[in-house]
Amino acid sequence: MNPPNGKPCEFVMEVTNKTRADVKGGTLTQYEGKLRLVEIAQVPKAHVDEFKSVSKFKIFNTNNLWISLAAVKRLQEQNAIDMEIIVNPKTLDGGLNVIQLETAVGAAIKSFENSLGINVPRSRFLPVKTTSDLLLVMSNLYSLNAGSLTMSEKREFPTVPLVKLGSSFTKVQDYLRRFESIPDMLELDHLTVSGDVTFGKNVSLKGTVIIIANHGDRIDIPPGAVLENKIVSGNLRILDH
């Protein structure tokens, strides 16, 4: 709407203020008069702590990007979109070490004219990278309105609960199998789940809830249970009669 210098922006990246939960997020730098995206995988080990600093790099890339299609067509025809290859070592489930080669779409920012980073509210950034994130967006904390996830007005505090699901929930199919239905989380502040735990239908979680099934134990949270500021540990089995 109000481009600097009166020239249209060809590439706009939404960034938001970095917190200690976002230290791995890519950030913007300026080099040779152009904006550049720097990802953590591109940072030498000696400088990783510096990269993670919330005081040195105050913003990170949300990956919400606005790009002129006419500019993409022009640069593509000129073969001028220059993207760095990111080398990312990974370990597969079987223990095999592999090298994953990636390009970050945001890295194309350096190829466009009059590029900008715009600092947006945190509400514009709602990542789903783990099943802990997935539980939040599937819950009654959020509703989908015109393609946008918005927090329920029934939640008294606008902060997002802290959710930590253990390794038994890492894979989506395991996560889905362990919830008969997604719990009511409108009044939840903190949830930690560890070990072999399942949830029945219509469970409510409020305040701080910690559920720990030690090795060899299993905990089945019964249908309709209301857990408010509770620590659940030991062994609790619910079997079909």
Alpha helices by DSSP H, listed for the chain, are 48-52, 69-77, 131-138, 172-177
Same domain, 58 and 135: no
Task: Kindly state whether residue 2 falls inside one of the protein's structural domains.
Answer: no
Same domain, 113 and 132: no
Same domain, 40 and 58: yes
| Closest C-alpha among 229, 180, 231 to residue 206 | 229
Looking at 123, 157, 189, the residue that finishes a domain is 123
Q: Which of 129, 154, 164, 230 is catalytic?
A: 129
Establish whether 73 is a catalytic residue: no
| Closest C-alpha among 23, 13, 87 to residue 52 | 23
CA distance 233 to 213: 6
Domains in the chain: how many in total? 2
Please enumerate, as own/partner, the contacts of 126-133 that have beta carbons within 8 Å and a separation of 24 or more. 130/165, 130/170, 131/165, 131/169, 131/170, 131/171, 131/172, 131/175, 132/163, 132/164, 132/165, 132/169, 133/163
Looking at 89, 123, 157, the residue that finishes a domain is 123
pLDDT score at 241: 66
Same domain, 132 and 118: no
Task: Kindly state whether residue 241 falls inside one of the protein's structural domains.
Answer: no
Same domain, 114 and 134: no
Task: Kindly state whether residue 240 falls inside one of the protein's structural domains.
Answer: no
Same domain, 116 and 134: no
Report residues of the chain scoring pLDDT below 50. none
Please report, for the domain that includes residue 162, its CATH number.
Answer: 2.160.10.10
Task: Kindly state whether residue 239 falls inside one of the protein's structural domains.
Answer: no
Task: Kindly state whether residue 225 falls inside one of the protein's structural domains.
Answer: yes
Do 88 and 99 contact (CB within 8 A), yes or no? yes
pLDDT score at 148: 81
pTM confidence score: 0.71
Domain that holds residue 177: 126-233
Other Cβ atoms less than 10 A from the Cβ of 68: the count is: 17
For the four alpha carbons of 164, 86, 104 and 122, in that order, the dihedral sign comes to positive
Same domain, 95 and 133: no
Do 210 and 189 contact (CB within 8 A), yes or no? no
Task: Kindly state whether residue 205 falls inside one of the protein's structural domains.
Answer: yes
pLDDT score at 106: 94
Token duo for residue 142: 């959020």
CA distance 209 to 110: 46
Task: Kindly state whether residue 1 falls inside one of the protein's structural domains.
Answer: no
Same domain, 133 and 159: yes
Same domain, 163 and 111: no
Same domain, 165 and 80: no
Do 225 and 200 contact (CB within 8 A), yes or no? yes
Same domain, 196 and 105: no
Looking at 97, 123, 149, the residue that finishes a domain is 123
Token duo for residue 100: 């994953």
Q: Which whole-number Å values give the CA distances from 233 to 8, 213, 237, in the listed order?
A: 59, 6, 12
pLDDT score at 3: 80
CA distance 200 to 225: 8
